[in-house]
Amino acid sequence: MSSDCKALILDFGGVISRTLFETHHLTEHALGLAAGSLTWRGPFAPETDREWRAMQAEEISERDYWHIRTQEVAKMVGKNWSQMSDFVQAARGADPEKIIRPEFFETIAAAKSAGKRLAILSNELDLFYGEKFRDLLPFLADFEVIHDATYTKTLKPDPRAYGNILLELGLKPNECVFVGDQLRNIDGAKTAGMKTVHFDVQNPAESYAIARQFLGI
């Protein structure tokens, strides 16, 4: 495996933070729901999550999937949530760092120490989490570029999304490793010429280990 990559480009979602599927118990506690109220499990039990399977089959978008879940939970708690960020802020409270993956912190520390560059390429960072979310995550200051399609409207796997972040970094595609948890976005990065790691939310340590190998750290 080549280890000459100069930059680590991360999706946000399940790559940096534990997914909402993994934190149902925290969500239920925060929203005053009985344990076991939330039954959708996405990649952890796709056979029981029809909407997740539809999203993976590209019958609906990722945004469509989370809109459905937001409306379901809003009905359960008697809220009128219009955006995914309403749900996330209610579920994760004022201390989101507690749901950030420890493997992420270890990897960016090693990358910084080795002089590697850091970037985020997200389809919906502020759309899903809300603008104020960034203020609660001081580590984002370590990221040279944050490309958020909430504002650019250019969503992965659109080739322009990858092209834009490469332009901002001033690097060639093969000098970057992209880490994402959705196969369609991995395929887009491969087409753009980047090294890729298809992040496994059920085995984050291994996925980050592969990314570190690409970086030689």
CATH-assigned architecture of domain 7-17+100-215: 3-Layer(aba) Sandwich (3.40)
Any idea which residue has 């925060």 for tokens? 30
- Give residue 94's pLDDT: 60
Phi then psi for residue 18, to 5 deg, are -65, 140
Domains of the chain, by residue range, sit at: 7-17+100-215, 24-95
Whether the model pTM is above 0.85: yes
Q: Which of 198, 184, 190, 156 is nearest to 56 (CA)?
A: 184
Cis ω before 157 (30° cut-off from 0): yes
Asked if 15 contacts 8 with a C-beta cutoff of 8 angstroms, the reply is: no
Specify the higher pLDDT residue, 191 or 82.
Answer: 191
CB neighbour class for 63 (10 Å; exposed up to 12, middle 13-18, buried from 19): middle
- Measure the N-to-C terminal CA separation of the chain; round to a whole number of Å: 13
Mean pLDDT of 110-130: 91
- Give residue 101's pLDDT: 96
Specify the higher pLDDT residue, 138 or 171.
Answer: 171
Q: pLDDT tens across 6-27, in order? A: 999 999 989 999 999 999 999 9
Averaged confidence pLDDT in the chain: 93
